[in-house]
């Protein structure tokens, strides 16, 4: 079964990762296994993510403007160093507001999803495969912004 890793970065507040749960439920309905790792609850989120790294299609990270950016960059960069072909997808408020800046300035990020991630994300992971670094799907090249303007 295909698998997608979803990561909630460390931040100063603790709420359910509802956005990641929504994306995960949509992917589950398509037969894609979803693993959510919450950096606010894990002592070692890298180890928790690495456990599932080899057979994952991509890493999705929910990013708010502020302190989560540093953790998201660190996690994305670390996992890409272990598996360079892994597409790293950012969604959330910050990527929705600054997609071009992220793609221009953060080599750790391959794809930015704007607005409602569930609406856009459930279609492309089925087409990706580990080792397909240049594209996350046939229709979605790396460095792409998904979503409405």
The per-residue pLDDT for range 17-55, each reduced to its tens digit, is 667 778 877 788 888 888 889 888 889 999 999 999 999
pLDDT tens for 53-86 read 999 999 999 888 888 999 999 999 999 999 999 9
User: Tell me, what CATH number does 103's domain have?
Assistant: 3.40.50.280
Give 43 or 121, the one with higher predicted confidence: 43
- Name the pairing type of β-strands 135-137 and 140-141: antiparallel
pLDDT tens for 51-61 read 999 999 999 99
With beta carbons less than 8 A apart as the criterion, state whether 10 and 72 touch: no
Q: What is the pLDDT of residue 143?
A: 52
When divided into structural domains, the chain yields a total of: 1
CA neighbours closer than 13 Å in the CB half-sphere of residue 35: 20
Q: What is the pLDDT of residue 27?
A: 80
Cα–Cα distance measured from residue 60 to residue 49, given in angstroms and rounded to the nearest whole number: 11
Domain that holds residue 35: 3-146
Beta strands in the chain (DSSP E): 3-8, 33-38, 56-62, 88-91, 111-113, 135-137, 140-141, 144-146
Q: Which residues are paired to 36 by β-bridges?
A: 6
The vertex-62 CA angle with 83 and 91, nearest 5°, equals 90
């Amino acid at each position: 079964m295909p698998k997608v890793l979803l990561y909630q970065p460390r931040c100063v507040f603790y709420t359910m990762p509802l956005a990641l749960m929504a994306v995960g439920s949509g992917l589950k309905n398509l037969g894609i296994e979803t693993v959510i790792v919450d950096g606010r609850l894990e002592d070692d989120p890298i180890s928790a993510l690495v456990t599932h790294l080899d057979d994952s299609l991509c890493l999705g990270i929910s990013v708010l403007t502020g302190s989560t950016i540093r953790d998201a960059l660190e996690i994305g960069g670390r996992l890409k160093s272990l598996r360079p072909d892994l597409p790293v997808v950012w969604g959330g408020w910050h990527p929705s507001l600054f997609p071009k800046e992220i793609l221009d300035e953060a080599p750790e990020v391959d794809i930015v999803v704007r607005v409602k991630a569930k609406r856009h994300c459930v279609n492309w992971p089925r087409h990706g495969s580990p080792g397909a670094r240049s594209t996350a799907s046939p229709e979605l090249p790396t460095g792409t912004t998904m979503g409405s303007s």
